Structures are given as structure tokens and as C-alpha cells.
Amino acid sequence: MNVQQQFRRLPSIDALLANMPEEVARWGHTQLVEALRQQLDQLREAIAAGISADISSESIRQSALETLAARSRATLIPVFNLTGTVLHTNLGRANLPPEAIEAIGTVAAGASNLEFDLASGKRGDRESHVESLICEITGAEAATAVNNNAAAVLLVLNTLALGRTVPVSRGELVEIGGSFRIPEVMSRSGCSLVEVGATNRTHLDDYRHAIDNTTALLMKVHTSNYEIQGFTASVAEPDLAVLANEHDLPFVIDLGSGNLADFKALGLPDEPTVAQALANGADLVTFSGDKLLGGPQAGIVAGRADLIAAIKRNPLKRALRLDKMTLAALAEVLTLYRDPEQLVRKLPTLRLLTRRASDIQAQAKSLLPDIARALAPKFQVSVEDCLSQIGSGSLPVDTLPSAAIRIAPESGDDSDVRKLAQRLRELPVPVIGRIHKGALWLDLRCLEPEQQTGFADQLADLTL
């Protein structure tokens, strides 16, 4: 058969569609015709290139439907975070509690009093739904909330330091995850950084000497993802607050992780709270909503009422403001902080951070047979002690004892570990672990007990 004859044997779109009433109803005429046309185009190309292809109507329909199904699958999907990093920026940081998820659904579905004061019938303030909660929990006079902490820092500097200078310690010129760097955020917010002190040591006099008539404020940045050890010195917050006060300058602390809970009492590595930063004399504190606070992505500025009022008047504020779904979720999460006895049980971030190593180990042991069965005989599987990280704004040196399933290839070949990691990422709910010393480690800290069955069941689908 020559090429022309083969082209003529290809079915028409109409002929293909005639047998597909259910598929037309499911995908709609437009999408289905487009997918069938694509299949026919591909077949024509194959025929022209002399490649043999299945041109039966059944095969064309099948391929078109597969393409449609693949294309309509969501790309943003749940995964199992078994990296051992509780607040993993690449995996979406904090898991929200059911109260917050429900509130998101409710405001998303219909009209709400987002910016409408029900008492007066007049225009309201969207931040009224969270501001008083933030003040109640942190002791701040006033607060505002924006898209994330990067936005909070940008907005504070742009409002209070535009065209002026801000001294920051050389030991605190932080980079967070590549795209947020204090010096770059400062220049984009329109102020000039004045570096003070040395990388390892900064003294109060360094700040004092940097202050002149261009200085807008004093700022301290929490070094959330590194620690300088050895011969070090930094200026305590109360001392900087006094110095700022002497010069009538606002004192701003970028706290990064917005911890609102007493970590020591929870048996966690000590982490400064927003309330402490304010009590230490900060006029403004900026922090994230989706780090230790355990809420949705947001940035919060809390502190002096006159400064917050100025920030709210900044035209940039509108560009950085929160949407109704985030505000609804944030309000619910903040509400949980009113009940400290239930907080750890109800707030996923604190619940995961405080899981006991012995519980995680018991969970690992109960899962071990299922995992061993799915991976035998190519892989050796064992339960091992490991260390989880808090992630996103807590020192990487602060780790939490945990337990992992360690999966090592019988071959001892690193490429087998990488292949296994890839297969796990291809599961319906991808499993993300950590490769360490020739093995794949699945830290079970973030596998909540009720997820365990779903996790184990899909391992049966694993093809190695």
C-alpha cells in the first residue's frame, strides 16, 4: 500500500465521533475533536515517514482519550513528605488544620463580609478578621497581614526607610531559599543598607557609629537558617531597642519564623516568640504565617499602632494584601492559639514537631513488613533512628529525634537508590524521601497515623 492509499484508510473525525456519545458528554465536543485531530495528524506524519502505525479507529480513540486524561490531570497534587523536614518550603510548608480548610471552602463558595461592617452596613476592613487576634496573642498594639514575610519586610522598609539608610549587622545579611536576600530586598524597597560590624561579631558601638541623619530605623534579622559559632558577638534586642529609642528611630525585628508558642514547654528547641521580640522593645516584628505559626502563606507585621497605620497607608500595601481565603484560614489558625491545652493536638505543625521518637519508631516497625514485601528481594529494609529538621526558619542545628525506614539496594549501587526514589515519586501520591549514604530514608515524622494505610496500600503498585 502506498502512502496515499494509507492516508485514505484513516477514519474521518465524524466517523470516530459517531461511536463516542459518552466521551463527547464527558470531555465536550471541542476538546475531543482536538484530541482526535492530534492523533490523526501524528498518524499522517508517521505514515509519511514510512513508520508503520496502528490506524484502527479503536486505537485512535484510545490514544486520544489517554491524551485527554493525562492533560486534565492536576499538576499540583498531594505528596507524602517523608523528608524529615516538617516545614518544607518546596513541599508547601505548614499543613492546615480542618477548621482552616473548612473556612477556606466557606468563603470561597460565596459572598462574605470580607470588607463589610455588618454593624454599620458600611465598608469594613478586611484585616479586622485577624488583627485583633494577632494583637491578643502577641501583645502588639496593632498588626497588618500581607502575602508573605518577604512582602512584610519589603513593605516595612518601603514605608519607613524609603530614600534613607538602615544599618544591619554583617552577621545577619540572610539569604532564604535563594530568592530572598536581605540586601536585595532592602535595595528593592528603596532604602540603602549600611553594613555594620563583622561577620562573626557586631557590637552596640558599631550601630551607634552607623547612625546619622539619614538613618531611618534599626533592624535585626533572625538568622533563621544558619548559625555562626565560635568567637561571636551580637547585640541583644533590648540594647538595640534602647539605642534606637535614644535616637528616636523605630526598631524592627525580622523574626522569620513566627513562633507564637512556648517551645521550651513543648520540649522543642527554644525559639524566640513574637511576644518576646515585642517585649524586648521591638517597635515592629515581621514574621511568616506558614512557618512555625502553622497557618497559610502570609506575612504579618505586628507592633506600634502609628507605624502600622503608616504601613497600611502605603500604596504598595494593596499590591501585597491577602485574599479572603488566606484571611479565613489565618483567623482559624490564630483562634486555635486561644486554647493552649488543645493547640498541639489541633495544629498540625506543632503536632508533627512534638511527635515522640518512640511513637514514630513504633509506626515504622508496623509498616516495615509491607514495605519489605513491596521492595523484596532487590532492597534491604530496616528501621533506623534519624533526626528530623524543623525547616523554614529554625536552625538546621536544631534537630528532633525521629525514626525512618531505611531502604538500601542489595546491589549497593547508588543508581538503584536513585531509581527507587524516582519510582516512589511516580506513585499516585508521590513519596518524597531523602537519599543519604547509599540508601533512601523515609522519615515517618510527617506520616500521620491516619495516612498510614493509604501510604502502605499504594506501595503494592510499585514496579521496580
User: Could you tell me the three cell numbers for 30?
Assistant: 471541542
CB-nearer residue toward ligand PLP: 54 or 270: 270
What is the smallest separation between the CB atom of 257 and ligand PLP, expressed in angstroms?
Answer: 6
CB-nearer residue toward ligand PLP: 36 or 282: 282
Please give the Cα distance from 11 to 133 (Å, whole number): 66
Please give the Cα distance from 216 to 160 (Å, whole number): 7
Kindly provide the residue ranges of all beta strands, DSSP E only, lying in 24-156, ordered along the sequence.
80-81, 116-117, 122-123, 142-146
Please give the Cα distance from 322 to 126 (Å, whole number): 9
CB-nearer residue toward ligand PLP: 222 or 355: 222
What is the smallest separation between the CB atom of 127 and ligand PLP, expressed in angstroms?
Answer: 17
What is the smallest separation between the CB atom of 291 and ligand PLP, expressed in angstroms?
Answer: 6
What is the three-class DSSP state of 139? coil
Rg from Cα positions in the chain: 28
Please give the Cα distance from 445 to 49 (Å, whole number): 54
* Contact between residue 315 and residue 353 where contact means Cβ atoms under 8 Å apart: no
CB-nearer residue toward ligand PLP: 210 or 252: 252
What is the smallest separation between the CB atom of 136 and ligand PLP, expressed in angstroms?
Answer: 22
**Sign of CA pseudo-dihedral 146, 148, 153, 158:** negative
CB-nearer residue toward ligand PLP: 165 or 392: 392
CB-nearer residue toward ligand PLP: 184 or 306: 184
Q: What is the DSSP letter of 110?
A: S
Distance of CA 33 to the CA centre of its chain: 39
Q: Which residues bind ligand PLP (CB under 6 A)?
A: 148-150, 153, 174, 176, 180, 221-222, 224, 254, 256-257, 288, 299, 393
What is the smallest separation between the CB atom of 173 and ligand PLP, expressed in angstroms?
Answer: 11
CB-nearer residue toward ligand PLP: 65 or 87: 87
Please give the Cα distance from 184 to 157 (Å, whole number): 12
Closest CA to 274 of 248, 249, 252, 250: 252
What is the smallest separation between the CB atom of 370 and ligand PLP, expressed in angstroms?
Answer: 36
Burial of 182 (0-12, 13-18, 19+ CB in 10 A): buried
What is the smallest separation between the CB atom of 298 and ligand PLP, expressed in angstroms?
Answer: 8
What is the smallest separation between the CB atom of 176 and ligand PLP, expressed in angstroms?
Answer: 4
> What are the DSSP calls for 387-398, one per residue?
EEE--SSS-TT-
Q: Which residue is nearest to ligand PLP (CB)?
A: 256
DSSP helix, strand, coil percent of the chain (3-state; round to 5):
45, 20, 35
CB-nearer residue toward ligand PLP: 7 or 180: 180
